[in-house]
Amino acid sequence: MATNKLIPPHGADELKILLLEGAQRAEELKRAETLPKVMISSREVGDLIMLGIGGFTPLSGFMGEADWKSVCADMKMSNGIFWPIPITLSTDKDVADGISIGSDVALVNSEDNEIMGTMTVNEKYSIDKEFECRNVFTTTDTEHPGVKMVMNQKDVNLGGPVKVLSEGIFPTEFKGLYQRPAESRKMFAEKGWKNIAALQLRNPMHRSHEYLAKIALEVGDGLYIHQLIGGLKPGDIPADVRVKCIQTLVDNYFISDRVIQGGYPLDMRYAGPREALLHAVFRQNFGCTHLIVGRDHAGVGEYYGPFDAQEIFYKLWDGALELKPLPIDWTFWCYKCNGMASMKTCPHTEKGDRLFLSGTMLRSLLSENKIDEIPAEFSRPEVLKHLVEYYASLEEKVEVKVHGYATGETKKK
């Protein structure tokens, strides 16, 4: 249930929770074992769990064709409710051919064969994958990890309502971090927070992240460090390492009762501006009033301008979204200011005045074992210690490509 003093969930008066528990779950699970099986990918597992816990309120299941097309083209569902990225499930044509419209299927995790939920199949349809990619990712380049994900989808989409039976590995492997929206809302309400900023993270917090977080704390009641604990692209730092780094930073450099850490189960899509909007939608469901949007939010490479993810919020129609962005300009360490600064606060522009910080640059130096080349201003030493230990433990390291946004060479478009 939504707490009166908190922001309401997106497009609804209360969270739409599709996760069954207790006797209901046991009965549906028994029935699911008799149903035709549809294998689902890691991305679809994460989406299903978010549907279950209310993170994707007001959705009731995987999208049908009309919603898919409308979301791709106009960022709204066929009923007019704002939604920025299609939430779909696909299967092979031969599997789809064996499913009758109106019948139920069991949704099975392709990685471990766990039954994750059931679905009433109301629609079967094929999609134009390039149309989706052009609209959602602004590119059809298969080097883009999100585009590759869509292009690798099966031939037929299945649409219909779901019942969710499992949260997968997340409650056990990320115990104490993984949270449902009802849980974060309860914590915010207990603390009396009304203005809550979410910080999206898929990297350990370096000094720029810390700076953004502290700006948000200056103007709000609390900070929700909400990090992705689902799938990432090769070369990104795994969740357990990030958790250790972030907790070390929070313990040493923040007032503890003004910060809450949480984790959510999605895979990254790397959709840049559209994904920033999706992050905003489900952060509203988690009870946040603001989303910190810095440089190249949810981006990859140079597919998006460094501040496209900020600008897209101002193109939305009135009433599309209640949560507001907290846009922050390019941040860096200024040697003349002797501290963190931004384009809006620092007058020093001579070469060598500024050190631009990024997770990409840090990962690149660590992966190449160039520890001595990491400036002290990049990261707190306690955090860097954890990262050095992690990279030293790797038998095989993925090359990290450093783009212009990571070095400050590519400026705002």
CATH code of the domain covering residue 75: 3.10.400.10
Amino acid 361: pLDDT: 79
5 compared with 348, residue with greater pLDDT: 348
- Quote the DSSP letter at residue 82: B
- For 79, the token pair is 């009923």
Whether 244 has a pLDDT exceeding 90, the answer reads: no
Closest CA to 312 of 97, 183, 135: 135
Give the separation between CA 34 and CA 112, rounded to whole angstroms. 18
252 is catalytic: no
Closest CA to 70 of 56, 62, 61, 80: 80
Amino acid 406: pLDDT: 47
Amino acid 243: pLDDT: 85
Whether 239 has a pLDDT exceeding 90, the answer reads: no
Q: Is residue 200 part of a domain?
A: no
Amino acid 362: pLDDT: 82
Count, residues in the chain: 413
What's the domain count of the chain? 1
Q: Write the CA distances from 228 to 232, 267, 287, 365, 409, integer angstroms.
A: 9, 7, 17, 23, 28
What is the 3-state secondary structure of 247-275?
HHHHHHHCCHHHEEEEEECCCCCCCCHHH
Q: Is residue 211 part of a domain?
A: no
Amino acid 412: pLDDT: 44
Instruction: Specify the pTM.
Output: 0.91
- For 54, the token pair is 């209310």
Give the separation between CA 285 and CA 16, rounded to whole angstroms. 10
- For 44, the token pair is 């679809």
Amino acid 398: pLDDT: 54
Amino acid 4: pLDDT: 55
Q: Which of 43, 185, 202, 380 is catalytic?
A: 202
Q: Is residue 205 part of a domain?
A: no
202 is catalytic: yes
pLDDT digits (tens, 9 = 90+) for 260-293: 999 999 999 999 999 999 999 999 999 999 999 9
Q: Is residue 199 part of a domain?
A: no
In sequence order, what are the beta bridge partners of 342? 331
Q: 234: cis peptide before it, omega within 30°?
A: no
Closest CA to 82 of 322, 325, 324, 321: 321
pLDDT digits (tens, 9 = 90+) for 167-215: 999 999 999 899 999 999 999 999 999 999 999 987 778 888 899 999 9
Q: Which of 109, 157, 203, 285 is catalytic?
A: 203
Whether 80 has a pLDDT exceeding 90, the answer reads: yes
Amino acid 64: pLDDT: 98
Amino acid 314: pLDDT: 96
Q: Is residue 232 part of a domain?
A: no
Give the separation between CA 350 and CA 309, rounded to whole angstroms. 28
- Contact 232/265 with Cβ under 8 angstroms? no
Whether 3 has a pLDDT exceeding 90, the answer reads: no
For the chain, the average pLDDT equals 92
Domain of residue 87 covers 22-170
Sheet of 222-228, strands arranged across: 259-264, 222-228, 196-201, 290-293, 324-327
Give the separation between CA 265 and CA 271, rounded to whole angstroms. 17
Closest CA to 357 of 344, 371, 372, 375: 375
